[in-house]
Amino acid sequence: MGAIGVFDSGVGGLSVLREIRRELPQETLRYVADSAYAPYGDKPADFVVRRSLALADFLIGSGATSLVVACNTATATAVDTLRERFSVPIVGIEPAVKPAVEHTLAGRVGVLTTSRTALSARFHRLLDRFKGSCQIVVQPCPGWVELVERGVLDGPDAIVAVAQYVSPLVAQGVDVLVLGCTHYSFLSPRSEEHTS
């Protein structure tokens, strides 16, 4: 049986890998953290597509019979191209807009994303599909991926970086936040401090 290939622009996808391992403990997993080219979130779309194709090609060449694109930016930018190019099942990661809209009491949801995800047509189709009458506030968070890649998950730098983008959303009445990048889950304790 082949492996499940998983990739992200760095270590953020480890959060996805952990959940796959928990749900499918018997599966062989192969993970590529493309930290040399991280973050994808501020790179041009054609760059993200080229890197995604290269990583998918590597993983499939290494025996992966399915792929998980554990990166919101790569999903938003490249998953359609990957599905056209490769015949294996490919699962992408998208921001959890639908459950956020279902859980908001204020009718205002904040989506924390990378700049590239915020610009993608796929992301805007996702918002249009699920927002209903809810107000969605999209907030790119430059610098967050770099913090996580450096292992800065706590302390003054992390606190200031998270407050810079989360506090204005809370001030606008947002009562549900969506972490639209797999790296951001590593900063979620800091995010929760600003929403409590």
Active site residues: 71, 181
In this predicted model, what pLDDT tens digit does every residue of 8-21 receive, in sequence order? 999 999 999 999 99
In this predicted model, what pLDDT tens digit does every residue of 45-93 receive, in sequence order? 999 999 999 999 999 999 999 999 999 999 999 999 999 999 999 999 9
Q: How confident is the model at residue 1 (pLDDT cuts 50, 70, 90)?
A: low
Q: What is the pLDDT of residue 192?
A: 57
Q: How far is CA 172 from each of CA 62, 98, 144, 158, 176, rounded to the nearest angstrom?
A: 48, 20, 21, 22, 12
CA 191 – CA 194 distance, rounded (Å)? 5
Other CB atoms within 10 A of residue 89 CB? 11
Q: Give the distance from CA 5 to its chain's centroid.
A: 17
In this predicted model, what pLDDT tens digit does every residue of 139-184 receive, in sequence order? 999 999 999 999 999 889 999 999 999 999 999 999 999 999 999 9
Q: How confident is the model at residue 189 (pLDDT cuts 50, 70, 90)?
A: low
Q: Which residues contact 196 (CB under 8 A, 6 or more apart)?
A: none
Question: Which whole number is the average pLDDT over 100-117?
Answer: 95
pTM of the model: 0.88
